[in-house]
Amino acid sequence: MVISERAWKRLRTLTKGFALLGLAGLVFVLWCRTSVIGAGEGRIMENAAEVPKCEVALVLGCSRLLSGKWENRYFNYRIDAVTELYEAGRVEHILVSGDNSRKGYDEPSDMKAALMERGIPEDRIHCDYAGFRTLDSVVRAKEVFKQERIVIVSQEFHVQRALYLAQQKGIEAYGYPARDVEGEGGRKTKLREELARVKAVLDVKILRADPKYLGEPVLIGKAAS
């Protein structure tokens, strides 16, 4: 089969077009990554004693069990980290925010139960049952729970994204990273995080996304006085 010169030109034009689109996409992904990581610079503390005192720590939710059977280390390490903050006197209240959208699945209640097992008083733990994604959890902390200054607890890569969202939404936020998870599961999570960072930038810069639900104010600590 002989391909005409005209067809070759069209093919070269298409190839260049796809190459330019791919390059533009890569540049955008890298820009999103840099923007998210940059939001955490100077605001993530590895030592609990160095974390600025805030009334409320926001713990980002995840499943307590994997496949309904095995302990989720992401969950356990987040509970460890916020317990350290509370015991160090850096926060007075803990807001656990996660998904409770289907029957038999309740991240906030699981986190609350785990914290009470660690000795945290029940009246110091507050549940956000509509933290369906990180943007919802961060924005609801301000709009529903009336917190303008918070410490965010999760793994560092997740904290960076949450701090970016907080920065974009006018919230003074700091991060206290939980221990990370190594191995194959950890690598897959970090790959997914690259896409999540792109989505976070799109949500605030282009889509102007809002939480799925807001609702009536729920006051915590001094705000409730």
pTM for this entry = 0.90
What would the mean pLDDT of 111-131 be, rounded to a whole number? 97
Q: What angle do CA 119, 128, 60 make, to 5 degrees?
A: 75
Q: Domains in the chain: how many in total?
A: 1
Choice between 62 and 185, residue whose per-residue pLDDT is larger: 62
Looking at residue 203, its amino acid is D
The two tokens of residue 96 are: 């656990």
In a domain, 27, yes or no: no
| DSSP conformational letter for 52 | P
Confidence of residue 19 (pLDDT cuts 50, 70, 90): confident
Domain that holds residue 219: 42-224
Give tens-digit pLDDT for 36-54.
Answer: 999 999 999 999 999 999 9
What CATH number did the domain enclosing 183 receive? 3.40.50.620
Label residue 10 by pLDDT band (50, 70, 90): confident
Q: Are 175 and 40 in contact (CB under 8 A)?
A: yes
Round to whole Å and give the CA distance between 204 and 129.
Answer: 22
